[in-house]
Amino acid sequence: MTSDLFGGEPGAPDPRRSSRSRDRAKEQRERKRRRRRSVGVLVVALVMVLGAGYVVVELMGGFFNGGSATAGNVDDYPGPGHGSATVVIKPGATGSQMAASLVDAGVVASTKAFNQAFADNPGSSKIQPGTYNMLLEMKSSDAVTALLEPASRVSFKVTIAEGLNKDQTVAKINEKTLIPVADLQAAIADPASIGLPAEAGGNVEGWLFPATYDVEPGSSAASVLSQMTAQTIKQLQAEGVPQDQWETVLIKASIVEREAKLPEDRPKVARGIENRLARQMPLGIDSTTAYGLGVTRAPTAAENHDASNPYSTYVRVGLPPGPIASPGTASIDAVMNPADGTWLFWVTVNPVTGETLFADTQDEQDANIQKLRDWNAANGK
């Protein structure tokens, strides 16, 4: 019978076909689950990569931007900093201008942080112009503190001693700053460039005030010499010297500087000069002759009486035509406040101790000169 031949009743479902359908459905569901898991893993991985990238940018942004935070990546560095950087603070710079210079140099992270630190530090207004040695990546508050430390400033210390003439002063500046002598001489030849007042008559001698100066790296010859002439004017004004007497006072003070060996003798030498001028007597001072000769030794009698030397005060009455050295504060003060006395002569009788004797008459002076000769003889001079 037909039913026996095909193994079942007519119209009954085939069990093998149903099983295959179930297998296919199960396989499709599994593939969907695997796709969903793959997408999920990919999303998580992408989030992790993006997150890591954000952290790296936040932490390393200062390096990628040359140490500055112009892109707003870092507001302030934690400090204390590392390496070194040189920053120039210009005269009259505001806090914001300082901040810009520091950010550009990689010292601080942002102008915002420095400006806040500048405002928070009550001493910030005392920051001086100059060149400073700083660290890279400093905390802004530390950077403000460093700018207030004199030790942070880069400069050359140039000390000009009292009694040096212009050539000696130029040599000292050159020695300490390496500014070429030719540049210094060129500046001296242009009085306006160094602030030399009209009262000097174009002659810088006596106007380069003896003091210690901070000279910034890269300073010009004119800027250095300008500091010195400005200091001379400041000192003359402080002493109450009338402007039309500036040159006269400097001439007298330069003689006092070269002649007086001890502080207490300066006002006495100043009085001796005034007494001689009042009597229309030649000053008869060796140091003026020596200046005219361009020597530092004692001139001979013939040299002292050489009328061709405009600085010979043996053959001319009155002051020499200009200062013979740069006088210091004590000598200027001595000229403005000479001692009381009638003496006309003085001579240093002991070059080692500086002992100087003063006299009213020529006979007394001759006796004092003999004491100097005796000292020279005893000391093989």
1 domain residue, yes or no:
no
Per the structure, the complete domain to which residue 184 belongs is given by 156-238
Task: Say whether both 267 and 364 belong to one domain.
Answer: yes
| pLDDT score recorded for residue 156 | 82
The token pair at 330 is 């004590």
Rg of the chain on CA atoms, in Å: 43
Task: Say whether both 228 and 257 belong to one domain.
Answer: no
3-class DSSP state of 88: strand
Q: Is residue 59's pLDDT more than 70?
A: no
CA distance 198 to 153: 34
Nearest to 265 by CA among 257, 254, 277, 275: 257
Task: Say whether both 254 and 335 belong to one domain.
Answer: yes
Q: Is residue 62's pLDDT more than 80?
A: no
pTM over 0.95: no
Task: Say whether both 148 and 161 belong to one domain.
Answer: no
67 domain residue, yes or no:
no
CA distance 103 to 136: 10
The token pair at 353 is 């101790």
Task: Say whether both 300 and 366 belong to one domain.
Answer: yes
Q: What is the mean pLDDT of residues 210-233?
A: 94
Q: What is the mean pLDDT of residues 160-178?
A: 95
Q: Which residues contact 289 (CB under 8 A, 6 or more apart)?
A: 299, 303, 304, 306, 309, 311, 312, 313, 314
CA distance 275 to 320: 16
Task: Say whether both 265 and 366 belong to one domain.
Answer: yes
CA distance 140 to 112: 9
Flag the least confident range among 62-66, 76-80, 148-152, 197-201. 62-66
| pLDDT score recorded for residue 22 | 58
12 domain residue, yes or no:
no
61 domain residue, yes or no:
no
Flag the least confident range among 13-17, 22-26, 127-131, 193-197. 13-17
| pLDDT score recorded for residue 66 | 37
Q: pLDDT confidence of 216, banded at 50, 70, 90? A: confident
Q: Is residue 342's pLDDT more than 80?
A: yes
Share of the chain above pLDDT 90, in %: 72
Task: Say whether both 263 and 299 belong to one domain.
Answer: yes
| pLDDT score recorded for residue 58 | 41
Domains of the chain: total: 4
**Which residue among 188, 220, 238 closes a domain?**
238
**Which residue among 154, 176, 191 closes a domain?**
154
The CATH number for 147's domain is: 3.30.1490.480
Task: Say whether both 129 and 34 belong to one domain.
Answer: no
> What is 172-193 written as a DSSP string?
HHHHHH---HHHHHHHHT-GGG
89 domain residue, yes or no:
yes
161 domain residue, yes or no:
yes
325 domain residue, yes or no:
yes
3-class DSSP state of 209: coil
Q: What is the mean pLDDT of residues 340-344?
A: 96
Q: Choose from 56-65, 209-218, 338-347 the range with maximum mean pLDDT.
A: 338-347
Share of the chain above pLDDT 70, in %: 81
Task: Say whether both 223 and 253 belong to one domain.
Answer: no
Task: Say whether both 271 and 173 belong to one domain.
Answer: no
Helices (H), 65-110: 95-104
| pLDDT score recorded for residue 150 | 85
| pLDDT score recorded for residue 374 | 95
Flag the least confident range among 81-85, 195-199, 307-311. 81-85
Question: In Å, how far from its chain's centre is CA 207?
Answer: 21
Task: Say whether both 260 and 304 belong to one domain.
Answer: yes
**Which residue among 207, 238, 269 closes a domain?**
238
Task: Say whether both 100 and 188 belong to one domain.
Answer: no
| pLDDT score recorded for residue 130 | 81
142 domain residue, yes or no:
yes
